[in-house]
Structure 1
Amino acid sequence: MKPAMLAILLASSTLFACDKEDQDLAPDKVPAEVKASLVKTFTNAINFEWEKKEANYEVDFDMNTVEYSALFTASGEMLMHKYDITATELPEEVKTVITQHYTDYRIDDAEVVDKAGTRYYQVDLKKDNMEKRVVLAADGQEQAQISYWD
């Protein structure tokens, strides 16, 4: 087998092996309760992309030119949602902790995550070829018990 074909075959098998529990869904495969909850909560949402995440439903969408994601149970209960923000929109306490604890790292991406009414900030940090992902509370405290939501 030619090296190029082998590389393509290996890359495609790796791609399909990842996230076996995550499945892209057509909108007609999403329960009506989930779609109704989404529209009720995010009235200006557009451009929906649905995935099945284990027993839950995740949707990526745009609202007012901002990228959002939300995670719902099959009955339509929203478990959490997130949206993109700029580094300048992070609370001062969060920026201070990043500056003090992640010297020489730059903020590559920042998001607000709302989980059960509590706001967290998840931040992608980059330095040379290194990347770190951290979740922080509004006061800048790292939240090791909260998983980074991809």
Structure 2
Amino acid sequence: MKNSILTFLALLFSCFAIAQNLSEKEVPTIVKSTFLISYPDQTNEKWEKEKGNYEASFTIKDKEHAMVLDPEGNILETEEEIDVNKLPANALAYINTTYPNKKIKDAAKIIDAHGIVTFEAQVTSIDLIFDKQGTYIKSIAD
């Protein structure tokens, strides 16, 4: 019985940890306005709410993008899909050494609210994060 309750609680909390898809109507006006001013030419807009923030996923000229905003409409981070060969050379070398014979599935350039640039490379089911020079920072399991 005790294990059943613990399992139920674990499942309940994990449901809240997952991002929630939102309709456009559920996005605060200030968040939506900041997004539209920043990216007026975007298409395929989709919204999620995760950890109290709002994330817009969208397309510009066949490239995937994302923007994370807080509830007050402040931009926390932007992400742009890039070609794998646009990753810093040190990042590519790290991936080739650490994950030999593995293909980089996706790559992105991320800019945070302070203008700090990082890069993300998805290899297998792991996102690898690198600084602007291509130095490895951390791994995030998908």
| TM norm structure 2 | 0.79
**CA offset at residue 46 of structure 1?**
1.5
1:19 Cα shift? 4.4
Q: Output the amino acid matched with 2:120.
A: Q
Amino acid at match of 1:142: Y
Unpaired runs of at least 5, structure 2 = 1-10
What amino acid does structure 2 have at the position aligned with 1:31?
P
Instruction: Please give the alpha-carbon distance, in whole angstroms, between the structure 1 residues aligned to 2:141 and 2:99.
Output: 20
Do 1:34 and 1:74's aligned partners in 2 also have CA atoms closer than 8 Å?
A: yes
Identity of aligned residues (%): 23
> Within 5 A, what are the aligned runs for 1:107-118?
107-116=104-113, 117-118=115-116
Q: Structure 1 unaligned segments of length 5 or more: list them.
A: 1-13
For 1:124, which of 114, 122, 125 is the aligned residue? 122
Cα deviation, 1:35-93, whole Å, max 9, x if unaligned, reads 11111112211221111113211111111211111110111001111121121221223
| Partner of residue 98, structure 1 | 95
Q: Between Structure 1 and Structure 2, how many residues are aligned?
A: 130
What do you get for the CA RMSD once the two structures are aligned?
2.3
C-alpha displacement at 1:17, in angstroms?
Answer: 7.8
How far is the alpha carbon of 1:133 from its aligned partner?
Answer: 2.4
Tell me which amino acid in the other structure corresponds to 2:103.
R
2:89 is the counterpart of 1:70: no
Code of the aligned partner of 1:39 = L
**Cα–Cα, structure 1 residues 86 and 47, in superposed 2: closer, same or farther, change >3 Å?**
same
8 A Cα contact 1:125 1:133, kept in partner: yes
Q: Aligned with 1:34: secondary structure?
A: helix
How far apart, CA to CA, are the structure 2 residues paired with 1:71 and 1:97? 28
- Distance (Å, rounded) in 1 between the aligned partners of 2:104 and 2:116: 22
Supply the distance in 2 between the matched residues of 1:64 and 1:108 (Cα, whole angstroms): 20
- What amino acid is the match of 1:123? A
Deviates more, 1:17-26 or 1:33-42: 17-26
User: Is the CA contact (8 Å cut-off) linking 1:45 and 1:63 kept in structure 2?
Assistant: yes
Q: CA deviation at 1:102?
A: 2.7
Does the residue aligned with 1:100 lie in a helix, a strand or coil?
A: helix
Cα distance in 1 between the residues matched to 2:30 and 2:83:
32
Q: Once the 2 structures are TM-superposed, how far is the Cα of residue 148 of structure 1 from its aligned partner?
A: 4.2
Aligned position for 1:45: 42
Deviant stretches of 4+, over 6 Å = none
Q: 2:16 aligns with which of 20, 28, 48?
A: 20
State the 1:138 CA deviation: 2.0
